[in-house]
Amino acid sequence: MAGSSFSIKNVWGYRKYLPLPARRAVGWVKRRVSPHWLWESKQFIDYFEFLQKSQWWSLEELQSFQLEQLRVLVKFAYENVPYYQRSFKEKRVHPSDIKKLEDIQLLPTITKDDVRSHIDEFIPIGVDKSKLRVWVTGGTSGKPLKVYQDLYYSCMIEEAFSLRQRLWTDYKQYDRKATLNRDPNKRTFRCWDFNNTENELILSSFDLTESNMFEFVKAMKEFKPRILVGYPSALEIFGRFLIRNEITLPALNGVFCGSEALFPGQRALIESAFNCDMFPSYGMSERVADATECEKHKGYHISMEYGVFELLDQNGEPITKPDVDGVVVGTGFHNNVMPLIRYQMFDIGTYAGETCACGRNAPLIKEFKGRLREYFVGKSGKLMPLQLIWSGRHPVWSKIKEMQFVQEREGEILAKIVQAPNYSNEEVMWELRAEVGKIMNPDDFKIDFQFVDHMALTHRGKLNFLDQKLPIHFEEITRLSS
């Protein structure tokens, strides 16, 4: 940060050495003299006002809005996007065939592999690829996929939907928030940083050491954020730390999470550690679907203004009944530089089949049962959901700081563990083996343990609780639940 020559920029860089109260004062002034680049733009304000109204629309109003958007999208794709020009013709569908929402089923579904192998054909004619933001999905497991986005527009849409959910607590737009989902270290000498434009305390999710987490606690107590936003895996590690050290943080309105599946046991741990409700959301870098949990916590409301959300069975038929597993297929309305129509995710969901007491009419997804990779495969080939392991409330979990399962062969699991201070490897291994043995049949699963100093994170700072190297198919999962 410190350059060899004197410049205003270098002096400004030294603000990071100021104590937090001084930095907050600088931020307070800055927010009053320079308008926020996104929140104060007319486009954002208009779109956000629209979302604030549309959340109370009737289901019929939401559906007719979707039909209108879908027709525009399909016509655009047919006229401008080489991949769809070809695939719609092969399927003999024309934009004029989309007369009602269900007609979306006339269109072919696409997979991650389709997009990966025809990536350039998904960019509309006349769009300059070099001007787009590239987002890589996939993390450590699974083959990565490049997704192209219009930077401003994509940020605007994502921010508008996130903000709408945050306002479902008593949080207001410029209120103090803390985040635990990225790495501020490139710009600061501390394990945390302060973003004065957004009044945000950034805690590094990349380096969750004991001493850093003590620093987080100090900063959180000083800053008193109204909400905390993070990845479930990072929140879990910080939550375990708080419980282990009997630390109570200042009261929060809620903890918000996304990007990874949230397991029921994990949720219980985080809610008890932070002493407030969680507000999970469902989304993906491909930007094809969005769903957010409301203050009644009965499931995830589908964001119908965001795109068409479908749950399909193994034959590709739409699921309409509650409690039936289906694979998520999404059609996003907002990525005009790389439109994805009927894009198949690797996630399994079920409908709740009831209306929500909050008064919003968008249908509820009862739960997302994790991604297809979040299953163990036994020696017999039988699948076991990862979340069963996580439901444990045994004391052994408090002796573990971080943990990751790795599976490369059927029936064999490697448990990598970073243990909490003051416990022996043998103690943790013995107790964990006994605990896991209650859930996993020892004839079907052999577990090995490896104690490590720290865990490798994905390039976005997430920790996959299970690094599943084996291919798992949807058909096997539906067989499991039937």
Task: State in angstroms the smallest separation of the CB of 102 from Zn ion.
Answer: 25
Q: How far is CA 94 from CA 65, 106, 245, 331, in A?
A: 20, 9, 62, 17
Q: Which stretch binds Zn ion (CB under 5 A): 337-345, 350-358, 372-380, 412-420?
A: 350-358
Name the residue nearer to Zn ion (CB basis): 247 or 358. 358
- Restricting to residues 280-319, which ones interact with Zn ion according to CB under 5 A? 294, 296
- Amino acid sitting at position 111: T
Beta strands per DSSP E along 32-112: none
- Smallest distance, Zn ion to C-beta of residue 50, A: 19
Q: How far is the CB of 384 from Zn ion (least distance, A)?
A: 32
Q: How far is the CB of 277 from Zn ion (least distance, A)?
A: 13
Minimum distance between the CB of residue 22 and Zn ion, rounded to whole angstroms? Answer: 41
Nearest residue to 358 via CA among 294, 268, 281, 292: 294
Closest CA to 265 of 364, 385, 180: 385
CB of 54 or CB of 111, closer to Zn ion: 54
Specify which residues 192 forms β-bridges with: 203
386 close to 263: Cβ distance less than 8 angstroms: yes
Size of the site for Zn ion (CB under 5 A): 5
Nearer to Zn ion, 168 or 241 (CB): 168
The span from the CA of 290 to the CA of 301, in Å, is 9
Strand, coil or helix: what is 450? strand
In the complex, the smallest distance separating the C-beta of residue 227 from Zn ion, rounded to whole angstroms, is 18
Amino acid found at 205: S
Rounded Cα distance between 454 and 456, Å, is: 7
- Over the window 243 to 282, marking each residue x when it contacts Zn ion by CB under 5 A and - when it does not, the resulting string is ----------------------------------------
User: Binding marks (x or -) toward Zn ion, 353..372, rule CB under 5 A?
Assistant: ---x-x-x------------
Q: Choose one: 13-21, 132-140, 252-260, 351-359; the region binding Zn ion (CB under 5 A).
A: 351-359
**Neighbour-count burial of 268, counting CB atoms closer than 10 A to its CB (0-12 exposed, 13-18 middle, 19+ buried):** middle
Select the span of 209-217, 239-247, 248-256, 352-360 touching Zn ion (CB under 5 A).
352-360
Residue 104 engages Zn ion in binding (rule: CB under 5 A): no
Nearer to Zn ion, 164 or 379 (CB): 164
Q: What are phi and psi of 407, to 5 degrees?
A: -125, 125
Residue 377 CB, nearest approach to Zn ion (Å):
36
Minimum CB–partner distance for residue 301 and Zn ion (Å): 6
Question: Judged by CB, which is closer to Zn ion: 286, or 293?
Answer: 293
Q: Which of residues 385-444 bind Zn ion (CB under 5 A)?
A: none
Q: Residue 240, SS3? A: helix
Residues making up the chain, counted from first to last: 482
The smaller minimum CB distance to Zn ion, of residues 14 and 56, is found at 56
| 136 DSSP β-pair partners | 146
Q: Please state, in angstroms and as integers, the Cα–Cα distance from residue 350 to each residue in 73, 102, 224, 287, 292, following that order.
A: 27, 19, 37, 20, 14
Nearer to Zn ion, 164 or 296 (CB): 296
Interface positions, 111-140, toward Zn ion (CB under 5 A): none
Residue placing its CB nearer to Zn ion in the complex, 81 or 294: 294
Going 109 to 328 to 259 to 402, the CA torsion angle's sign is negative
What's the closest the beta carbon of residue 294 comes to Zn ion, in angstroms?
A: 3
Nearer to Zn ion, 144 or 359 (CB): 359
What is the Rg, in whole angstroms, of the alpha carbon atoms belonging to the chain?
23
Which stretches of the chain bind Zn ion, using CB under 5 A? 294, 296, 356, 358, 360
